[in-house]
Chain A
């Protein structure tokens, strides 16, 4: 068991972040029109990229445990708080549809020159301050319905890890097919040439 390295230094943060931001931007995820296109069903990139990334990383984590490189239970698995994570997911979904970003993609948006991304970030700081100010009344919801510590889909269903990954891959394959069909029907997805015209766009 040689992994994880538990390196929380500056270089590790900069490297992981660099690759994260570089991939997000090249996926087109700095653009709020492309991002919100997912929910108008005309651009399925959010679903496709996220699902692919989850499966690739889950598969590599599983393989490294099989080869004894990564200790099982050695990496962080968030403990579910069903109510708070459900309501939080609803709020972030709403914020994404309305504001055009999520926290990570707003960083990619700003790096591409977008003023709206920094306003979104200011909103996030305000929202965080509101949460802190309302922590007393929100605490009950925040702590409600906790699940088992570090609960995984394997713990929940009893299905082995490889089979879960296979099922997720099958769902992703179905989603890719459905998404591509809807994209063709609805005139998507957004290409870089649609979003960044050569002449300055009218502002």
Chain B
């Protein structure tokens, strides 16, 4: 079965903008993602090294809240279901290691891990990610959101030059 085409960027952008606005109406804040991974880290830490995690000045606060009570946990679960419905209904579900034609599976997974580590560090430092700070902060016309977005695009272009051969 051939995949259905993606939505045009304009329609996808309008749809995402409407979802974001609805989120502001419902909750008083925008969409996010990295907050979920902070909670996941706190949970894993509590399981692997409970004393160290509870004593940690940064993660300690997260440990004291139940992760399932946090709105962001449900939101990320909803995003997973929404994307799964999108992939299945669009005939775009493919179990794979997606990579550039010249990259091997091993090197792709190492790059994914390295990229994830940088992203995890960056999201905690910035207090948000592309969704929570860039998209939602941008829609709220927050200065912080635009500072983030400018730096995000600048570093993206710079590092993309260093790894472009590997994606193409």
Residue pair A116, B112 in contact (C-beta under 8 Å): yes
Residue pair B25, A91 in contact (C-beta under 8 Å): no
* B-side contacts of A100, CB under 8 Å: 98, 111-112, 115, 167
Label chain B's interface by main secondary structure. helix
Q: Min CB distance, A48 to chain B, in Å?
A: 4
* A-side contacts of B4, CB under 8 Å: 192
Residue pair A12, B26 in contact (C-beta under 8 Å): yes
Residue pair A26, B7 in contact (C-beta under 8 Å): yes
Does A174 count as interface, using CB distance less than 8 angstroms?
A: no
Measured in the bound complex, the distance between the Cα atoms of B135 and A7 in whole Å is: 20
Interface band, chain A: 35 or more
Measured in the bound complex, the distance between the Cα atoms of B128 and A32 in whole Å is: 20
> Assuming the A-B contacts A93-B153, A95-B117, A192-B5, are A125 and B13 also in contact, with contact meaning beta carbons closer than 8 angstroms in the complex?
no
Chain B, residue nearest A7 (CB): B26
Listed by A's residue number, 13 A-B pairs whose Cβ atoms lie within 8 Å are A6-B27, A12-B71, A25-B86, A27-B16, A50-B138, A99-B113, A100-B167, A107-B76, A111-B83, A112-B87, A116-B97, A123-B117, A198-B1
Contacting B at CB under 8 A, from A34-59, are 36-40, 44-45, 48-58
Q: Min CB distance, B92 to chain A, in Å?
A: 5
Q: How many residues belonging to B are interface residues under a CB distance threshold of 8 Å?
A: 127
Which of B's residues lie within 8 Å of A, judged by CB? 1-7, 9-10, 12-34, 36-38, 40-41, 44-45, 56-59, 71-87, 90-100, 105, 108-109, 111-131, 133-135, 137-160, 162-164, 167-168
Pairs of residues from A and B, 6 with the lowest C-beta to C-beta distance, nearest first:
A99-B115, A123-B116, A127-B120, A17-B78, A52-B13, A88-B126
Contacting B at CB under 8 A, from A145-160, are 147, 150-156
